[in-house]
């Protein structure tokens, strides 16, 4: 026995990292548009450098991205050729509500996704739709302070009301917030949060997190009301934290690092704030303001499945000497001496995926869905424009093996697997094009040069074989 017969193989993208067409079809500006490539990006996505509009000094890769706005038929056709059963994409909120706070949606935006979903169904591909993948209409950032403001819950509810009704029968699998825990690590990217000097950042983050959690429960409620067949998932940036040593202080540190992230999923899946989080927020004086009925909403509308991204495990130490080695990244992690790393320093740990799957399944006992996994690497096309990406195949093969072990040997219930960026797209962390994940090469560089021509890499045919054999043939 291997993967279930209806296992959902596919790939995952996000609107702002591939669509482009930032001002077409009536679309409004969003936080993700104004995040530049280059040295200032991290300060911007962390909410520490104010960037509420374009300037002349920076290059903004999301404006055109890989122009999937105009290429989606061609791209979906290529996904179908690989045999995709599912395609994970996201809806750009500001295509549907350009400012975020309108009462009436923008028909042109709705139409765009309707056509995209229909194109998927043409090939028997089931869309898996992220309602918000790091995006927030800019008007909601400048006028309301984004998710720090309770009003966002209502605006998000409007969005959900519109899309669940409009796409009934076209979309069954929904994710409420991409990597909801990213609000702690990159709050402007994650939730449109920007901080003024002297503000209590933690307090604001947890207040915004509460708003997102309530919004997620409301989305789940509406999705189930509109169509009982709808399946709603939460989405975690996962990756187990290992203690750097067996010193109990390291184990304790690692456990708490994981709880910082599990906190969100505990609420979305178990329907209540975990005790450890309540104690911690009380101690720090950052308990969020809640409205009457919030706790009931959380309790009554938990998710149907747990989805997550997995790229790497993490490592934690309580020893200040060891901690000195830490390198700054979105998720700060110690270097694990037993692991190799990608060109971007992301440590490669297939067994860590099996460990993470088991931990999540033990904790929630709900079906899992791996909605992101992959290797960001520099690809160099040969003289014929062909990319022989054996390194990518090796990474994916090892992770799919580990995932199969979790399913076959450990009994984890897994709905599907979508690799990140089946077609090269803009990196969320760095804004680069040269950090590529795709089976499909896109001719475009970090500065926006290139023809945007699509071509198949070696991994294209490999993944096609993997899907055709339902994960049996990985050679
Ligand atoms: P990029 C950091 C750590 C884990 C997941 O990331 C992350 C990030 C952000 O860098 O984000 C997810 O493009 C995210 C995608 C993103 C992908 O991982 O920085 O959901 O939007 O592209 C890969 O290499």
Count of other CB atoms within 10 angstroms of residue 246: 7
Cα separations in angstroms, 100 against 144, 152, 160, 191, 198: 10, 9, 12, 14, 28
pLDDT at 344: 93
Distance 227 CA to ligand 1 centre (A): 31
HSE toward the beta carbon, residue 53, CA cutoff 13 A: 4
Whether pLDDT at 327 is above 70: no
The pLDDT tens digits of the residues spanning 38-87 come to 999 999 999 999 999 999 999 999 999 999 999 999 999 999 999 999 99
| pLDDT, mean of residues 155-166 | 98
The pLDDT tens digits of the residues spanning 166-207 come to 999 999 999 999 999 999 999 999 999 999 999 999 999 999
**What one-character DSSP code corresponds to residue 131?**
E
Distance 428 CA to ligand 1 centre (A): 5
**What one-character DSSP code corresponds to residue 28?**
P
pLDDT at 244: 95
Give the active site residue among 179, 372, 432, 475. Answer: 372
Q: Are 130 and 235 a contacting pair, CB within 8 Å?
A: yes
Domains recognised in the chain with CATH numbers:
8-468 (3.20.20.80)
The counts of H helices and E strands in the chain are: 16, 12
Among 131, 146, 108, CA closest to 30: 146
SS3 label, residue 40: coil
CA 111/CA 107 separation, integer angstroms? 6
Which of the listed residues 134, 236, 429, 434 should we mutate to test ligand 1's pocket, taking the one with most ligand atoms within 8 A of CB? 429
The pLDDT tens digits of the residues spanning 372-408 come to 999 999 999 999 999 999 999 999 999 999 999 999 9
pLDDT at 325: 64
The pLDDT tens digits of the residues spanning 352-378 come to 999 999 999 999 999 999 999 999 999
The pLDDT tens digits of the residues spanning 108-146 come to 999 999 999 999 999 999 999 999 999 999 999 999 999
CA 79/CA 422 separation, integer angstroms? 8
CA 185/CA 200 separation, integer angstroms? 15
Among 199, 192, 15, CA closest to 95: 15
Strand partners, 11: 87, 419
Q: Closest residue (by CA) to atom 13 of ligand 1?
A: 427
26 CB-contact burial (10 Å; exposed 0-12 / middle 13-18 / buried 19+): middle
CA 212 to chain centre: 15
Q: Closest residue (by CA) to atom 10 of ligand 1?
A: 429
* Residue ranges lining ligand 1, Cβ < 6 Å: 14, 17, 178-179, 237, 309, 311, 330-331, 372, 376, 420, 427-430, 435
Of ligand 1's listed atoms, the one at least distance from the Cα of 428 is: 13
Count of other CB atoms within 10 angstroms of residue 415: 24
Residue reference for tokens 């291997």: 2
The distance in angstroms from the start CA to the end CA of the chain is 19
Count of other CB atoms within 10 angstroms of residue 97: 23
Of ligand 1's listed atoms, the one at least distance from the Cα of 14 is: 21
Q: For this structure, is 372 an active site residue? A: yes
The pLDDT tens digits of the residues spanning 265-289 come to 999 999 999 999 999 999 999 999 9
SS3 label, residue 215: helix
pLDDT at 460: 98
Distance 82 CA to ligand 1 centre (A): 23
pLDDT above 70 covers what percent of the chain?
A: 98
pLDDT at 329: 62
Would you place residue 321 in the very low, low, confident or very high pLDDT band (cuts 50, 70, 90)? confident
Among 41, 167, 196, 25, CA closest to 94: 25
CA 106/CA 166 separation, integer angstroms? 12
The pLDDT tens digits of the residues spanning 446-475 come to 999 999 999 999 999 999 999 999 999 999
CA 275/CA 265 separation, integer angstroms? 14
**What one-character DSSP code corresponds to residue 270?**
I
CA 292/CA 46 separation, integer angstroms? 31
Distance 429 CA to ligand 1 centre (A): 6
Whether pLDDT at 328 is above 80: no
Whether pLDDT at 326 is above 60: no
The pLDDT tens digits of the residues spanning 240-251 come to 999 999 999 999
Cα separations in angstroms, 96 against 57, 189, 228: 30, 19, 24
> What is the token pair recorded at 298?
């959380």
Q: Closest residue (by CA) to atom 24 of ligand 1?
A: 427
Sequence-distant (≥ 6) Cβ neighbours of residue 36 within 8 angstroms: 44, 51, 58, 59, 60, 61, 431
- Going through 200-288 in order, the beta strands assigned E by DSSP cover 231-237, 241-243
- Quick one: CA dihedral 148, 137, 104, 295, positive or negative? negative
């Amino acid at each position: 026995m291997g993967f279930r017969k209806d296992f959902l193989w596919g790939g995952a993208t996000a609107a702002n990292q591939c669509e482009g067409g930032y001002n077409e079809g009536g679309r409004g500006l969003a936080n993700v548009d104004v995040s530049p490539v280059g040295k200032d990006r991290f300060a911007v996505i962390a909410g520490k450098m104010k960037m509420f509009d374009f300037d002349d000094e920076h290059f903004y890769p999301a404006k055109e991205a890989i122009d999937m706005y105009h290429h989606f038929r061609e791209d979906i056709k290529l996904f179908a050729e690989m045999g995709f059963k599912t395609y994970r994409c996201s809806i750009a909120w500001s295509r549907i509500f350009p400012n975020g706070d309108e009462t009436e949606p923008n028909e042109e935006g709705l139409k765009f996704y309707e056509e995209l979903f229909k194109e998927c169904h043409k090939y028997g591909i089931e869309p898996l739709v992220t309602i918000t993948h790091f995006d927030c209409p800019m008007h909601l950032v400048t006028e309301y302070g984004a998710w720090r403001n309770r009003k966002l819950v209502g605006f998000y509810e409007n969005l959900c009301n519109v899309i669940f009704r409009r796409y009934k029968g076209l979309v069954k699998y929904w994710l409420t917030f991409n990597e909801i825990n990213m609000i702690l690590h990159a709050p402007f990217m994650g939730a449109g949060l920007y901080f003024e000097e002297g503000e209590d950042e933690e307090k604001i983050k947890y207040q915004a997190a509460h708003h997102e959690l309530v919004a997620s429960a409301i989305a789940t409620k509406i999705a189930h009301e509109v169509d009982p067949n709808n399946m709603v998932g939460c989405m975690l940036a996962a990756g187990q934290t290992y203690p750097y040593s067996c010193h109990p202080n390291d184990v304790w540190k690692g456990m708490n690092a994981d709880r910082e992230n599990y906190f969100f999923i505990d609420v979305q899946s178990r329907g209540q704030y975990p005790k450890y989080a309540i104690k911690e927020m009380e101690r720090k004086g950052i308990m969020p303001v809640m409205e009457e009925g919030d706790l009931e909403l959380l309790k009554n509308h938990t998710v149907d499945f747990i989805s997550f991204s997995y790229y790497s495990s993490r490592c934690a130490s309580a020893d200040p000497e060891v901690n000195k080695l830490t390198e700054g990244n979105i998720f700060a992690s110690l270097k694990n001496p037993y692991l190799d790393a990608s060109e971007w320093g992301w440590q490669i740990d297939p067994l860590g995926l099996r460990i993470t799957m088991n931990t999540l399944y033990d904790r929630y006992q709900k079906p899992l869905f791996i909605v992101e996994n992959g290797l960001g690497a520099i690809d160099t096309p040969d003289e014929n424009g062909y990319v022989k990406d054996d390194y990518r195949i090796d990474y994916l093969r090892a992770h799919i093996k580990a995932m199969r072990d979790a399913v076959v040997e450990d009994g984890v219930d897994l709905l599907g697997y979508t690799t990140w960026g089946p077609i090269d797209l803009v990196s969320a962390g760095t804004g680069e094009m040269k950090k590529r994940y795709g089976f499909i090469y896109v001719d475009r560089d970090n500065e926006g040069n290139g023809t945007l021509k699509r071509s198949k890499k070696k991994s294209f045919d490999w993944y096609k074989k993997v899907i055709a054999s339902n994960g049996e043939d990985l050679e």
